[in-house]
Amino acid sequence: MNANTTLTLTNITTSIKKPLVLTMKFCPCPSPPPTSPISSIRSSCRRRRTRSLPPSLVIQDTSTTTAAASDIDTDSLSVSRRLILLRHAKSSWDDRSLRDHDRPLSKSGELDAAKVSQKLQQLGWIPQLILSSDALRTKQTLKIMQQQVPDFLDAEVHFISSFYSIAAMDGQTADHLQQAICNYSRDDILTVMCMGHNRGWEEAASMFSGDSIELNTCNAALLEAAGKSWEEAFASAGPGGWKLQAIVKPSDSPML
């Protein structure tokens, strides 16, 4: 086809009597210029940039995942905390010249200490921290318990002289025990045993639990409360809020 080609179109309608002449010019499109080697390289680089990054270089938004993981904090969970209030085993009055602080255990007291330690072991109440009066009869009670049940040797032990005197003061033992436990314990210690004397020990057990508790010699009150720490356990339970799980006696099965 030439550059100036005349096309004649005749309208079939009768209203148009003259032929319609249209003139169309044909202009061939110019050929694209040859691609230079540099242009080809640049185009290839642009195409490569749009490809997906390898997985190791992909940065993901982990804020949601991190937040969800931080919501689970095992250190902030409340756990069960167990308190053993143990009165010393029966002491001997054979030597009247001895001070009350220095009286040893009787033969029956020695047997009772061994029995109670076995019962605590059977119940799974092995203390991790032992706070004890420094009176001779409480020290001997603990020594026999450690000899009978070696697991008691794993506990951290502190002898506190005020435990001997505070027991004779009305209404003060519970607060004194709470302060001592919070002072010596750590959050990872879940079972504490306090060893001492009456009146104070059964008075403290009654105040903690809200029950009227009688502790004869070598009787142990097993109390339980929950908290992230010992401070929180005492605060959340409050007076009368500790659950009395059992009273362990050497002569019979634990009273549940």
SS3 content of the chain, % helix, strand, coil (to 5): 40, 20, 40
**Position 48 pLDDT exceeds 50:** no
pTM score, two decimals? 0.70
pLDDT tens-digit series, residues 220-232: 999 999 999 999 9
**Position 76 pLDDT exceeds 80:** no
The average pLDDT across 52-73 equals 37
Q: 224 with 245: CB under 8 angstroms?
A: yes
Q: How far apart are CA 178 and CA 237, in angstroms?
A: 12
Q: 165 with 134: CB under 8 angstroms?
A: no
Angle between helices 230-237 and 173-184 (to 10 degrees): 150
| Banded pLDDT at 75 (limits 50, 70, 90) | low
Q: In the sheet where 191-196 sits, what is the strand order?
A: 156-160, 129-133, 191-196, 79-87, 220-227, 243-248
Query: Could you say which DSSP state residue 56 is in?
Result: G
| Banded pLDDT at 136 (limits 50, 70, 90) | very high
| Banded pLDDT at 71 (limits 50, 70, 90) | very low
Q: 168 with 200: CB under 8 angstroms?
A: yes
Percent of the chain past pLDDT 70, that is, above it, reads 69
Of the candidates 177, 214, 168, which has an alpha carbon nearest to the alpha carbon of residue 195? 177
**Position 116 pLDDT exceeds 60:** yes
Between 35 and 211, the higher pLDDT residue: 211
Between 199 and 22, the higher pLDDT residue: 199
**Residue 253's pLDDT is what?**
56
The average pLDDT across 8-31 equals 45
**Residue 168's pLDDT is what?**
87
The token duo for 74 is 């095992």
Percent of the chain past pLDDT 90, that is, above it, reads 66
